[in-house]
């Protein structure tokens, strides 16, 4: 009897910890709750380890990720997989066996807030393996440096160096990649890097080979407004909570973590900040760029007076290499044909929607692929053990677009 009571108490406690009120439209809410409970456990444990002085919380998280998710480069009957380097940056390469003589090519940057994850993770390995087989394409998954050891612009420089090497005649010939069918892509923070690289190389007239397309998966693109409708609507929706995104930005930009509440209140982008011009503000004016069904009842949060000098303290906030949404229209117009995936229940939804709108206004051919029941990170959960329904649909949609446009 006592064991039954104890079991019931433990079960109730576990259910209490796992249960989280979620929007009615989100895909498979219980799967998302379980994911969230797992992630919260890891985050809380890493914070405790950090406070006790054993190691940095990010190191603890990456150790867990490495232990649980990282796998060796193993070839299969359809795809040859090797670990190599691209422009001096560690890269996992997926080459389809057989097929056409010249292959399509995709360089891919993983997500993880510029601080977590790896292209060697099982989820990314399976994604790239599927892309290689389904597209008959060479996929190069880049392991750029991570925070806290590396801060902006280190990750950007790694992504740019790898991309330049990817587009070089030597690499294209070695891997038999068609120079007219190359793509830059990434998800979340990796989507940020892909967008920044597409801007830089699109405007570089010295490049003899340029990307044909860019494919951005729920990208993070700005850090001046943490009160867009999607940030307001989804601030308590897993797996990317609004405070987490502010924390990732501060780590990436090498800034003091004490600025987190300043960013969350939009006190860093107040009207009394002299370094933020009206032109800059117009580039993330969601009241003009988002359709009514995304704006909903939400209102802009613009502080009259804020924390003085934050933009001077953290210049990366205004650097287009870190915040591609702030790029000039002329720069955007030189970037390749674009695919931008967004998810309704994602704080970053409006970053992607605004970027798609700005690309379109600049004359770029854009496909905006919005998943009404999607959440941040869903695509990498397409496989077991989660096997998310929206994850599978989003992955198939992404690969289908590449097949039709690359």
Burial class for 120, CB neighbours closer than 10 Å (0-12, 13-18, 19+): buried
Catalytic residue status for 41: no
Structure token digits, residue 87: 């422009």
Give the Cα separation of 364 and 211 in Å (integer): 13
Query: Exactly one of 110, 227, 268, 376 is catalytic; which is it?
Result: 376
Query: Exactly one of 27, 188, 269, 394 is catalytic; which is it?
Result: 188
Give the Cα separation of 117 and 62 in Å (integer): 7
Give the Cα separation of 371 and 391 in Å (integer): 10
Catalytic residue status for 227: no
Q: Determine the distance from the C-alpha atom of residue 229 to the mean position of all C-alpha atoms in its chain, rounded to a whole number.
A: 19
Strands (E), 69-176: 79-86, 89-96, 103-109, 137-142
Pairing, β 103-109 against β 177-187: parallel
Give the Cα separation of 175 and 246 in Å (integer): 39
Measured CA angle at 298 (ends 295, 300), to 5 deg: 100
Query: Exactly one of 36, 187, 346, 369 is catalytic; which is it?
Result: 346
3-state secondary structure of 216: strand
Give the Cα separation of 305 and 317 in Å (integer): 18
Instruction: For residue 373, give the H/E element and its range.
Output: strand 366-375
Beta pairing partners, 95: 80
Give the Cα separation of 180 and 359 in Å (integer): 21
98 near 171, Cβ under 8 Å?
A: no
26 near 32, Cβ under 8 Å?
A: yes
Give the Cα separation of 128 and 134 in Å (integer): 10
Cα torsion 343, 234, 303, 319: sign: negative
Catalytic residue status for 371: no
Query: Which of these, 275, 373, 272, 289, lies nearest to 325 by C-alpha position?
Result: 289
Give the Cα separation of 314 and 138 in Å (integer): 38
Give the Cα separation of 188 and 356 in Å (integer): 15
Q: What residues are annotated to the active site?
A: 188, 346, 376
């Amino acid at each position: 009897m006592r064991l039954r009571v104890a079991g019931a108490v433990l079960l109730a406690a576990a259910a209490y910890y796992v249960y989280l009120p979620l929007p009615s439209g989100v895909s498979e809410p219980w799967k998302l709750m379980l994911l969230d409970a797992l992630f919260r456990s890891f985050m809380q444990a890493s914070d405790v380890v950090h406070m006790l002085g054993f190691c940095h919380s990010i190191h603890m998280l990456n150790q867990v990720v490495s232990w649980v998710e990282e796998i060796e480069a193993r070839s299969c009957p359809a795809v040859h997989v090797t670990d190599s380097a691209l422009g001096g940056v560690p890269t996992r390469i997926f080459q389809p066996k057989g097929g056409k003589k010249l292959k399509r090519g995709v360089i891919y940057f993983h997500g993880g807030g510029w601080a977590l994850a790896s292209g060697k993770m099982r989820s990314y390995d399976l994604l790239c393996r599927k892309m290689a087989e389904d597209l008959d394409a060479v996929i190069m998954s880049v392991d750029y440096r991570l925070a806290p050891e590396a801060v902006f612009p280190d990750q950007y420089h790694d992504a740019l160096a790898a991309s330049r090497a990817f587009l070089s005649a030597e690499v294209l010939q070695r891997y038999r990649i068609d120079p007219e069918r190359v793509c830059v892509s990434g998800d979340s923070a990796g989507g940020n890097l892909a967008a920044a690289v597409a801007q830089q190389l699109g405007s570089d007239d010295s490049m003899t080979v340029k990307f044909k397309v860019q494919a951005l998966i729920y990208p993070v693109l700005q850090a001046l407004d943490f009160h867009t409708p999607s940030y307001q609507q989804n601030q308590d929706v897993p797996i990317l909570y609004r405070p987490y995104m502010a924390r990732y930005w501060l780590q990436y930009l090498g800034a003091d973590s004490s600025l987190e509440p300043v960013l969350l209140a939009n006190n860093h982008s107040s009207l009394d900040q002299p370094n933020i011009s009206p032109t800059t503000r117009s580039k993330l004016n969601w009241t003009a760029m988002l359709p009514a069904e995304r704006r909903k009842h939400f209102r802009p949060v613009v502080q009259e007076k804020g924390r003085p000098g934050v933009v001077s303290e953290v210049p990366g906030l205004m650097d287009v290499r870190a915040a591609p949404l702030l790029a000039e229209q002329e720069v955007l117009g030189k970037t390749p044909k674009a695919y931008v995936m967004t998810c309704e229940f994602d704080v970053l939804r409006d970053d992607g929607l605004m970027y798609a709108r700005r690309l379109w206004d600049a004359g770029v051919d854009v496909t905006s692929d919005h998943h009404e029941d999607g959440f941040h990170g869903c695509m990498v959960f397409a496989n077991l053990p989660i096997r998310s329904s929206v994850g599978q649909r989003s992955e198939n949609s992404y690969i289908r677009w590449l097949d039709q446009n690359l």
